[in-house]
Structure 1
Amino acid sequence: MHRANPVPTPHEIELKLEWAAGPITDLLALPLFQRAEPLPERSGTLRTTYYDTPDLALRQAGLSLRIREWDGRFVQTLKAEDADQGLALGRPEWEWPLAENRLALDVAAATPLASLLARPGLTERLAPAFTLETERRVFECAHRDSLIEISLDQGRVTAGPKTADFTEIEFELQRGDVSSLFSLARDLADTVRLSLLTKSERGYRLLHAPEVEAAHAAPILVPPTWSSADAFRTIARSCLLQVVRNEEVLRRTRAPEALHQMRVGTRRLKAAISLFEDMLDDRESLAAMKDLRWIGKKLGRVRDVDVHIDTLRNAGAELDPEALAKAEKEQVRAYAALLKTLEKPRFRSAILRLAAWIEAGRWASRKKARSARSVPAMDRARRELGCRWKQIRKATRSLTKVSDGKRHRLRIRIKGLRYGIEFFSATFPGEKAEKRHRIMRPILQDLQDELGELNDLVMARQLSPASWDERMAARRRKRHLSRAGTLAGRLEKAKPFWSRKAAGTGKAP
């Protein structure tokens, strides 16, 4: 009935791109598809059925199980989501050719599905959850020293009475280095959008619309023995993933929190770049930073309006309804303009260029920066965090006496340090380092928040001068300055977790 052993394809690495708009003929006319070799024997109509229980036990376990029919042949596939997902999807995968369109569960004994199948009654509850019908065109392209398979899919997902159409391009690495996927994708940068959405996710969203939430920064693990190059790629990848995930949420919901977290992602990436700037001084890196500043500027304008509205709504008895109504109208206009920007080729291209730069940029191979790239992560973190720590502690000693502009710049520096200690929190092992980290982090966060409240007052005066209440603002300014001064005193007493004494070692082990 079926083969007892899976086909040996344990891991796939693919880059997903979403075709933004226009007829498919425009896409096929691009130079990349003109030079790629068509594979008609791999192309055709794919009919795929995904299986799960009514309570979605497989999805909750991070698994997808499907049977795909193509040209009269059937293949059963199990995929597991990679916990350390990058900008290119890397997922363990098991495949079994079947003789008929029927699940063969006994072959999954050596896979993560086995533990689920052992649950009483689960096998009996497995049933078709949704289907996909896809017209696939497959190409093969040699690039650098790699071989890449390109699949162009026009599909429709169906879950009960609901349907949704999609067009996506998948670059799957057949041989070579993952950086080649991004290098090749540059040829499509003006016409596609980087996507993290799998086909199974499309079906599950249609089947059971999840509560859409903004994506917060994911924990980052940078071991002390890693090189600076490895550390930067991991950190930068995580930051851009936060931007991409929240962009997708923002386009669907217009949620201010998604905008905020998207902007946080850009700021975290800026902070990462500053920590590794000695190895990022080439022309391509400078262009990437320019793209990042442009994105941040577009997001910042709308975020300022959001913050202003929050300030007005939290005014309590001093609320100005007229000013609030005016600000809310401005918010609607600002979001409409931003959503148009997200659909523009310049924005889509900027995101894809940033991804390509992180994964396949010239910074990773330039001879001039070789020594900077090889610096151990622990040594770099100790140097960079220590320098920023000294500057910030010195600046906070005169916190109440400086101008609004200087306080705002100090807040940005504090935020950069806070992101830095998040990036390198796992780089310094030991109880003493962990304790110092737990003490320092909330102090920096609270101080950043107080300085943020002070900056919000400055922005509120600029955005709504007609409704500005100087007496109310003076009371709030005094309160936040007092709190900031207290926090500055606590910061003065805090000890760095990256010190040699705290980490228990002088050099990276």
Structure 2
Amino acid sequence: MEKVVERESKWEVDGVFTLPALDNLAPDSRVEKTSVELTSTYFDTPERDLLAHNLTLRRREGADESGWQLKVPHPKGRTELHAPISEELPPELVELVTGAALGKRLQAVTTIHTLRDRHRVLGPDGELIVEVDDDIVDTTPADSGSIAWREIEVELGPQIDAVPAALADSLAKAGARRSEFPSKLSRVLPAQPGLDTDTDVERAIYEYLTAQIDVIFAGDVGLRRGQDPIHDTRVATRRLRSTLRVFGKLLNRSAIGVVEDDLKWYARLLGDVRDCHVQRRRLADQVHKLPPELVLGPIAARIDTTILARQAPSRNALTEAMDSTRYLKLLATLHAWQSHPPFDRRLHRRELLKGARKAARKADHRLTTGLFNQRRASLHRARKAAKRARYAAELLEPAVKRKQAKPNIKYYKKIQRVLGDYNDGIVSSRFLRRTATTAGTTADENGFTFGLLYANEIHAADKARRKAAEIAANRYS
């Protein structure tokens, strides 16, 4: 499937606007001008679920751009995925938006016609510097009358990071202004307005919830594309679940009860895959650090093969779950929360502070217990409590003075990270011990190097535990 990164900006102009000269944007540049007529039919659910997550799926006809195009968010703009022109929706593109569409059927929602004067500014080597399109647009949404406008669209070449200052200045002097609409579709089908919250407390919870939900939906598309957004998606899932636990008394319990269980289920599926990734990288690095003469036998291959044998079924289980009714219902609920969060009464700042403080006290108590008895289970509980305290402080930050929340965020993040190192060391040491017993009875292999790695992991875990104790002891010093 062909893909390109699209980086463009829109400019509002009137009917008498004259495009300024473009041949002076770069030394020895030249301008190629062509005129094309484009017809784009956009597909979405009746509720515009794709548009809500900044996804657009369209069938375009005209000149050299005929085909299906799916645009998905990208840090530098949007990634445009292409499929050949056809009468039916391409199954490979439909699959990518199954989660965002909440499993609903897609239908045509509007058709946009564009008469485009295309100006491609090329450098002396023929590489595109910038494309400036003068568009006259006419569109007929499925549920309203026709609207028309004119706009300038500026698309950057692969080596350009921003609209050239000379171009921006000349457009502004000619009467163009930056458009409030990031795309033609957003002008025709405006996004639904966000929640109008009454208090800083409600806004803090709402914005934190919706930020995690956005990451989960972006992760859904990434996973379906075969990418690896598992870490970010897992963290967002945990942040969301932690918020429901810590501040559950402020929310509608009947609305969040099932969601908590479903988030736990989904986080576990993500974790099964993510833990394999982490362990593979960690142990590959540890083997690489050993002197070559101490690496006896196919150690790296044995470790990699063993972990992959566990990772493949975990990834398959995740893929299967993402097409399940349970998962799609979870996404539907989360999507609904973005416009109707699970508030059933007016929230107050003191309640938010109380929840965050309670989470911090529990984290401190569990850390003290874990450092005292040095049991892995206790330290694991301490790590989870530290996460909840950190996430609660993150949520709290916009609603209180920054200096009140920042120290807790920093402290519990350190504790979480160091106890994570401790847990990784313990998990890896147990894996190495199991693997060594197999290697010790296999021809051309032995357990010597596994023993060295095991000792190193035990040492790393003990070092992390002592570091956690040091951080806790120095907190108020």
**TM tier relative to shorter chain:** 0.5 to 0.7
Residues 358-369 of structure 1 mapped to structure 2, 5 A cutoff: 358-361=337-340, 363-364=342-343, 369=344
Other-structure match for 1:299: 270
Q: Of the candidates 448, 451, 454, which is equivalent to residue 419 of structure 2?
A: 451
Normalising by structure 2, report the TM-score. Answer: 0.57
Rounded to whole Å, the distance in 1 between the matches of 2:267 and 2:470 is 31
Q: Kindly indicate whether the alpha-carbon contact (under 8 Å) linking 2:418 and 2:464 is maintained by their aligned counterparts in 1.
A: yes
Q: CA deviation at 1:416?
A: 1.1
Rounded to whole Å, the distance in 2 between the matches of 1:65 and 1:386 is 57
Residues 13-52 of structure 1 mapped to structure 2, 5 A cutoff: 15=52, 21=91, 46-47=113-114
Q: Kindly indicate whether the alpha-carbon contact (under 8 Å) linking 1:47 and 1:69 is maintained by their aligned counterparts in 2.
A: yes
Q: CA deviation at 1:441?
A: 3.0
What stretches of structure 2 of length at least 5 have no aligned partner?
1-12, 18-47, 58-88, 99-103, 122-127, 141-146, 155-162, 177-183, 437-449
Q: Which letter maps to 1:68? A: V
Q: Kindly indicate whether the alpha-carbon contact (under 8 Å) linking 2:429 and 2:458 is maintained by their aligned counterparts in 1.
A: no
Other-structure match for 2:212: 239
Rounded to whole Å, the distance in 1 between the matches of 2:204 and 2:120 is 38
Rounded to whole Å, the distance in 2 between the matches of 1:44 and 1:416 is 47
Other structure's SS at 1:484 match: helix
Q: CA deviation at 1:46?
A: 3.9
Q: Of the candidates 272, 275, 283, which is equivalent to residue 254 of structure 2?
A: 283
Residues 336-347 of structure 1 mapped to structure 2, 5 A cutoff: 336-337=315-316, 340-341=319-320, 344-346=323-325
Rounded to whole Å, the distance in 2 between the matches of 1:490 and 1:456 is 24
Q: CA deviation at 1:278?
A: 1.2
Q: Kindly indicate whether the alpha-carbon contact (under 8 Å) linking 2:201 and 2:399 is maintained by their aligned counterparts in 1.
A: no
Q: Which letter maps to 2:417? A: D
Other-structure match for 1:423: 395
Rounded to whole Å, the distance in 2 between the matches of 1:391 and 1:264 is 21
Q: Of the candidates 454, 457, 463, which is equivalent to residue 473 of structure 1?
A: 457
Q: Kindly indicate whether the alpha-carbon contact (under 8 Å) linking 2:243 and 2:392 is maintained by their aligned counterparts in 1.
A: yes
Residues 357-396 of structure 1 mapped to structure 2, 5 A cutoff: 357-361=336-340, 363-364=342-343, 369-370=344-345, 374-376=346-348, 378-396=349-367
Q: Deviations over 1:414-462 (max 9, x none)?
A: 0111111112223222xxx52x644443332222111111211332245
Rounded to whole Å, the distance in 1 between the matches of 2:244 and 2:134 is 40
Other structure's SS at 2:149 match: strand
Q: CA RMSD in A?
A: 4.9
Other-structure match for 2:303: 324
Q: Deviations over 1:476-501 (max 9, x none)?
A: 2221111111011123x17xxxxxxx
What stretches of structure 1 of length at least 5 have no aligned partner?
6-11, 59-63, 72-94, 106-112, 127-133, 135-150, 152-168, 180-221, 495-509
1:226 corresponds to 2:194: no
- Aligned pair count reads 341
Normalising by structure 1, report the TM-score. Answer: 0.54
Q: Deviations over 1:90-122 (max 9, x none)?
A: xxxxx8535xxx8599xxxxxxx9x98652589
Q: Of the candidates 370, 380, 386, which is equivalent to residue 414 of structure 1?
A: 386
Q: Kindly indicate whether the alpha-carbon contact (under 8 Å) linking 1:263 and 1:300 is maintained by their aligned counterparts in 2.
A: yes
Other-structure match for 1:403: 375
Residue identity over aligned pairs, in percent, reads 14
1:119 corresponds to 2:156: no
Other structure's SS at 2:338 match: helix
Q: CA deviation at 1:375?
A: 2.3
1:251 corresponds to 2:320: no
Rounded to whole Å, the distance in 2 between the matches of 1:452 and 1:299 is 17
